[in-house]
């Protein structure tokens, strides 16, 4: 794609790479080789297609948000309905792909880690469907906050292991998952949930999420007979956004905006806006933008949306940021919650808090644009999981 030929393998421009202990180099190579082989394998492709359609519920539609479009009197707003997938978010696309990859590689055990629980639930579901053993590491604090998802994972047959180190949240759960993988490499596949981690993960996850943009492109051409002017998506690790953006990257007129978590505001320091508050650094095996203090210590992040609450971001986004192909911005907790309410009331769709960040920015943008413009917002997931969060009246 728009990557230059000069790029070193496993790098996106200056970002990415494999910053891992020696013991992980062989399994990463094994994963890369298997992936390259299976990606072209007809039987693998057919089985994945069947899972995506029959199990995950693809293709998901794009939906014209007519009420909001009318009210804002600006650009036409379309929603890509990843909220309609099985288990309620785009995470299932990648979980299905990687679990199938693991099965074809002869690995019978899946290791995952989860923050909000969405990735853990998707991974538990596909593991059950494919007859694979599944263990999910989860920070003790997150387990407390996300009880319904813990129950779902357990019901789906996964073993949920509480992590009590550090801040007892996602970053600590990832450390534990990596430890498990190093110990059980022969039998286990580490199923990373976003476009993060060492090469080849960011490429594998992106390619399993590309289906979002491939479908959206076909669908908008059918409905509008032309490409959209803007794509908007929320950015946690960056998988739902790159999934939507990727097939449009060479369409120069299509502008793309990634929306990070502004939390309580950038000035407060309580946010997860890596491109505003962070700088290049290494976390969990990859070189990308990282929120860190002046000594390089990872700083605490905050977002009302657990899925956006991570101190780093996928290396391909760092590259797209460096060449200016994608614009990155943020919206606050408060703005996201307003959008969460507005979409529910006006369109009858309850979005995930994560997706509500993209909605908030997309609505602001639509209101400023003329009526002949078209925006597609990625509705990455549904909001049922967020109903227990106290957001006031
Ligand atoms: C996990 C999650 C996100 C953020 O992760 P990405 O990898 O950036 O997509 C966004 N929306 C929903 C609904 C999620 O579950």
Q: What is the pLDDT of residues 100-122, one digit of tens each?
A: 999 999 999 999 999 889 999 99
More confident residue, 165 or 8: 165
The model's pTM is 0.96
Query: Please, which pLDDT band fits residue 169 given cuts at 50, 70 and 90?
Result: confident
DSSP H helices in 139-238: 140-145, 147-155, 170-183, 201-209, 211-224
Other CB atoms closer than 10 Å to residue 152's CB: what's the count? Answer: 21
Spatial contact of 221 and 347, defined as CB atoms under 8 Å apart: no
Mean pLDDT for 337-352 is 98
User: What pLDDT does residue 6 have?
Assistant: 53
> Please, which pLDDT band fits residue 327 given cuts at 50, 70 and 90?
very high
Calculate mean pLDDT across residues 20-36: 95
> From the CA of 245, how far away is ligand 1's center (Å)?
14
Contacts of residue 142, Cβ cutoff 8 Å, sequence gap at least 6: 114, 115, 116, 117, 168, 169, 170, 173, 306
Question: Residue 202: helix, strand or coil by DSSP?
Answer: helix
Best mutation site among 82, 85, 91, 358 for ligand 1 pocket (most ligand atoms within 8 Å of CB): 91
d(CA 52, CA 36): 20
Q: Is the pLDDT of residue 66 over 90?
A: yes
DSSP designation for 111:
E
Which residues does a 6 A CB cutoff place in the pocket of ligand 1? 89, 91, 118, 194, 234-241, 307-308, 352, 354-355, 380-381
Give the confidence band of 393 by pLDDT, cuts at 50, 70, 90.
low
pLDDT average, residue stretch 88-97: 98
Cα of 235 to ligand 1 centre, how many Å? 7
Find residue 359's DSSP bridge partners: none
Question: What is the mean predicted confidence (pLDDT) over 137-159?
Answer: 93
- Report the candidate in 194, 205, 231 with the shortest Cα–Cα distance to residue 62: 231
Q: Which residue has the tokens 């070189």?
A: 287
> Which pLDDT score is estimated for 142?
87
* 133 — pLDDT class (breaks 50, 70, 90): very high
Segment 292-309 shows an average pLDDT of 92
Name the residue at shortest CA distance from atom 5 of ligand 1. Answer: 236
CA distances to 219, 250, 358 from 253, in Å: 18, 9, 20
Answer whether residue 4 shows pLDDT above 70. no
Q: How far is the CA of 199 from the centre of ligand 1 (A)?
A: 20
């Amino acid at each position: 794609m728009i990557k230059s030929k000069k790029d070193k393998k496993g790098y996106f421009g200056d970002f990415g790479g494999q910053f891992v202990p020696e013991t992980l180099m062989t399994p990463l190579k094994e994963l890369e080789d298997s992936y390259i082989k299976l990606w072209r394998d007809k039987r693998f492709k057919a089985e994945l297609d069947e899972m995506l359609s029959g199990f995950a519920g693809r293709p998901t539609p794009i939906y014209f948000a007519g009420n909001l479009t009318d009210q804002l009197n600006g650009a036409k707003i379309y929603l890509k309905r990843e909220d309609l997938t099985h288990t309620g978010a785009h995470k299932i696309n990648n979980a299905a792909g990687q679990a199938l990859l693991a099965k074809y590689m002869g690995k019978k055990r899946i290791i995952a880690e989860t923050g909000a629980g969405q990735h853990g639930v998707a991974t538990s579901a596909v593991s059950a469907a494919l007859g694979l053993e599944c263990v999910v590491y989860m920070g003790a604090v997150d387990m407390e906050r996300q009880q319904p998802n813990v129950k779902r994972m357990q019901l789906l047959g996964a073993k949920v292991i509480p992590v009590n180190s550090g801040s007892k949240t996602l970053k600590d759960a990832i450390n534990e998952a990596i430890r498990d993988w190093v110990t059980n490499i022969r039998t286990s596949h580490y199923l990373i949930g976003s476009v993060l981690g060492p090469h080849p993960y960011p490429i594998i996850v992106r390619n399993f999420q590309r289906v979002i943009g491939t479908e959206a492109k076909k669908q908008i051409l059918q409905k509008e007979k032309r490409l959209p002017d803007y794509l908007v998506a929320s950015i946690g690790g960056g998988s739902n956004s790159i999934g939507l953006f990727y097939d449009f990257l060479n369409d120069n007129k299509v502008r793309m905006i990634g929306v990070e978590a502004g939390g309580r505001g950038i000035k407060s320091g309580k946010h997860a806006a890596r491109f505003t508050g962070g700088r290049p650094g290494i976390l969990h095996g990859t070189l990308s933008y990282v929120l860190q203090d002046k000594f390089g210590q990872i700083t605490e992040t905050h977002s009302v949306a657990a899925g956006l609450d991570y101190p780093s971001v996928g290396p391909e986004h760092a590259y797209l940021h460096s060449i200016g192909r994608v614009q990155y911005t943020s919206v606050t907790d408060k703005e996201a919650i307003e959008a969460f309410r507005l979409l529910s009331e006006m369109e009858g769709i309850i979005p995930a808090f994560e997706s509500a960040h993209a909605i908030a920015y997309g609505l602001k943008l639509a209101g400023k644009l003329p009526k002949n413009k078209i925006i597609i917002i990625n509705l990455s997931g549904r909001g049922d999981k967020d109903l227990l969060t106290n957001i006031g009246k």
